[in-house]
Amino acid sequence: MSDVFIVGAGIHPFGRHDTRSGLDQGVVAVREALADAGLSWPDMQFAFGGSSASGNADALLPRMGLTGVQFVNVANGCATGGSAMLSGYWAIKSGEFDIGVAIGFDKHPRGAFNPDPEQWGLPKWYGETGLMLTTQFFGMKIQRYMHLHGISPRTLALVAEKAFANGALAPHAWRRQPVDADTILQAETVNDPLTKYMFCSPSEGAVALILASEKRARAMGRADVRIRGAAVRTRPEGSFEVFAPSLRLERGGSATALAAKAAFEMAGLGPEDIDVAQLQDTESGAEIMHMAENGFCADGDQERLIQDGETRLGGRMPVNTDGGCLACGEPVAASGLRQVYENVVQLRGTAGARQVEGARVGYSQVYGAPGLSAVAILGRA
Amino acid sequence: MAQVAVADDLISFSAEGPRLIGGRCTRTGAYAFPFPTGPLAEGFERVELGRTGTLWSFTVQRFAPKPPFIGAQDNFTPYAVGYVELPGEIIVETRIKTDSFAGLKIGMPMRITLDAIARTPGGDDIVTYAFEPA
């Protein structure tokens, strides 16, 4: 068994790119990752790639080179990118391979997603009657959380304000103009209690990460960012998830809590050891709830932590240092890999104006439909 | 004009009013909604769920959903949705009929009703279940 290192990272900026396909954005990200690692495509022993709306990820092959490389297409909902990385992690950890790449790219139409109920194993009426919208779920989850744990609408706005402030400092972010909390609070409501600035939008982008065994990473002189823990988990009984026509009376945990626990155990670390965190912020409330679900605070403590600026750059534990989904948008298959990319940059100390001083351990968590979560913990060697 | 239900096996109609058709596991007693289909249906008996409960959470749908939504896309009217806890049974997701979005509060009593969301080509109302403040 080998430890696994991230030896190359590439990103195609997130946002809207009308003249460039999702696939071509993937090409740009892979090239950048290879250049970052000082490698070329024929060096890749495997590739795990995913795209949810831009066709088959292995359409990259004729564009990168028909080297005969083992390419596996990955489809795992909102954790597609995280699952591609996890697959590469296992491939190297097992000793079967020394080096390979995990890729995610996407390009979504504008506006909210409109899923087909039958593809989700749900009755047609659920979509026909206007209940099958992800945005409704997010509104209802944070509405109840605010009621139970005393979170104020202003705290929701402060999360979005921070996202746009951080996005302004990240070259790969989409929304790079700061927006103040009052403007965010007074903007039109999309799904109560969330206004339009509190929701991320489907967008476009691509990320590629080159993974290597410890031996290979050392030979390259690139053994600086190690994957300390990585896990994907699905929803347990009693969790509250998107697209649920009913819920049991007995309430339970969450996919995120399970994935966090597994990744922390693998890493031999706890929440107190994390210097910088990228947490799924599909909307402002998600970031707040995920702070607790990942173990960084108790339910309700977010009100004070966020009001005190603890999650801002310069705070005790900066969250979503590149502006997260709120500032980058959400190209589904690339989004989780963007979080890992941001942690690689932070741990290398090359994040520029958004650098978290002395960051040695980075945490990322992507969550999405139909109720799964992928966590990765990176450590500076 | 007649009313047609948006789906079979979803709502039961009687003189006392509509009720949701759910399932109860014959082994554990756990409730399910909607009534399970396929191989899962074997372990469940059909039950009519309670008419009243309390509001568990809610939001307001303020933009017109894309298809497969069958309600009006043009002249879209926002509607509330939520979860209603039916005591001793299950928490169901539902449209909420109300004149006052601002009046919705978690924990408030709710009762079942019907909501016409579209029309058939023949002019009949297509109805689904909804809950309203009791």
DSSP one-letter string for A80-132: HHHHHHHHHHHHHHTTS-SEEEEEEEEE--SSS----GGGGT--HHHHHTT--
Q: Give the orientation angle of helix A284-293 with respect to helix A134-149, to 10 degrees.
A: 60
Asked if A191 lies within 8 A of B33 by C-beta distance, the reply is: no
Q: Report yes or no on A124 lying in a domain.
A: no
Q: Report yes or no on A245 lying in a domain.
A: yes
Give the burial class of B75: count Cβ atoms within 10 A of its Cβ; 0-12 exposed, 13-18 middle, 19 or more buried. exposed
Q: Report yes or no on A150 lying in a domain.
A: no
pLDDT of residue A64: 97
Asked if A129 lies within 8 A of B106 by C-beta distance, the reply is: no
Q: Which residue reads 């999650």 in tokens? A: A311
pLDDT of residue A381: 86
Q: pLDDT-based confidence at B48, cuts 50/70/90? A: very high
Residue A111 has pLDDT above 80, yes or no: no
Number of residues in chain A: 381
Which residues of chain A from 118 to 137 reach within 8 Å of chain B, CB to CB? 123-125, 127-133, 136
Give A255's contacts (C-beta < 8 A, 6+ positions apart).
Answer: A233, A234, A235, A236, A239, A241, A367, A371, A372, A373
Partners of residue A117 in chain B, C-beta under 8 Å: 68
Asked if A246 lies within 8 A of B93 by C-beta distance, the reply is: yes
Asked if B106 lies within 8 A of A143 by C-beta distance, the reply is: yes
Q: Report yes or no on A130 lying in a domain.
A: no
| Residue ranges making up the domain that contains A258 | 4-110+200-380
pLDDT of residue B74: 86
Partners of residue A192 in chain B, C-beta under 8 Å: 58-60, 62, 101
Q: Does A190 touch chain B (CB under 8 A)?
A: yes
Asked if A124 lies within 8 A of B117 by C-beta distance, the reply is: no
Partners of residue B79 in chain A, C-beta under 8 Å: 130
Residue A2 has pLDDT above 90, yes or no: no
Burial A103-130, CB ≥16 within 10 A → b, else e: bbbbbbeeebbebebeeeebbebbbbbb
Provide the 8-state DSSP code for A76.
B
- Residue to test with chain A: of B54, B93, B108, B131, most A Cβ within 10 A: B93
Asked if A191 lies within 8 A of B62 by C-beta distance, the reply is: yes
- pLDDT tens, position by position, A286-326: 999 999 999 999 999 999 999 999 999 999 999 999 999 99
> Out of A124, A188, A246, whose CB is closest to B32?
A246
> Out of A128, A140, A249, whose CB is closest to B59?
A140
- Pull the structure tokens for residue B86: 């039916």
pLDDT of residue A114: 76
Residue B1 has pLDDT above 70, yes or no: no
Q: Report yes or no on A153 lying in a domain.
A: no
Q: pLDDT-based confidence at A181, cuts 50/70/90? A: very high
Residue A173 has pLDDT above 80, yes or no: yes
Mean pLDDT of A349-373: 95
Mean pLDDT of A140-166: 98
Chain A, chain B: beta-carbon pairs less than 8 Å apart? 115
Q: Report yes or no on A34 lying in a domain.
A: yes
Asked if B83 lies within 8 A of A140 by C-beta distance, the reply is: yes
- Helix, coil or strand: residue A342: helix
Partners of residue B39 in chain A, C-beta under 8 Å: none
Query: Across all residues in chain B, what is the average pLDDT?
Result: 95
Cα A262 to chain centroid distance, Å, stands at 17
- Angstroms from A164 CA to nearest CA on chain B: 24
Asked if B56 lies within 8 A of A245 by C-beta distance, the reply is: no
Partners of residue A129 in chain B, C-beta under 8 Å: 6, 69-71, 95, 117, 128
Distance CA A236, CA A255 (A): 6
In this structure, what CATH number is given to the domain that contains residue A12?
A: 3.40.47.10
- pLDDT tens, position by position, B62-111: 999 999 999 988 889 999 999 999 999 999 999 999 999 999 999 999 99
- Pull the structure tokens for residue A232: 């994907």
| Residue ranges making up the domain that contains B10 | 3-133
Partners of residue A285 in chain B, C-beta under 8 Å: none
Partners of residue B93 in chain A, C-beta under 8 Å: 131, 244-247
> Out of A114, A123, A132, whose CB is closest to B34?
A123
- Angstroms from B1 CA to nearest CA on chain A: 20
Tally the domains of chain B. Answer: 1
- Residue to test with chain B: of A120, A129, A189, A239, most B Cβ within 10 A: A129
Asked if B81 lies within 8 A of A112 by C-beta distance, the reply is: no
- Indicate if the alpha-carbon torsion angle A13, A14, A15, A18 is positive or negative: positive
Q: pLDDT-based confidence at A341, cuts 50/70/90? A: very high
Partners of residue B89 in chain A, C-beta under 8 Å: 249
At A107, phi and psi to the nearest 5?
A: -155, 110
Partners of residue B7 in chain A, C-beta under 8 Å: 123-125
Query: Across all residues in chain A, what is the average pLDDT?
Result: 96
pLDDT of residue A368: 87
Asked if B59 lies within 8 A of A129 by C-beta distance, the reply is: no
Residue A274 has pLDDT above 70, yes or no: yes
Asked if A143 lies within 8 A of B60 by C-beta distance, the reply is: no
Tally the domains of chain A. Answer: 1
- Angstroms from A297 CA to nearest CA on chain B: 23
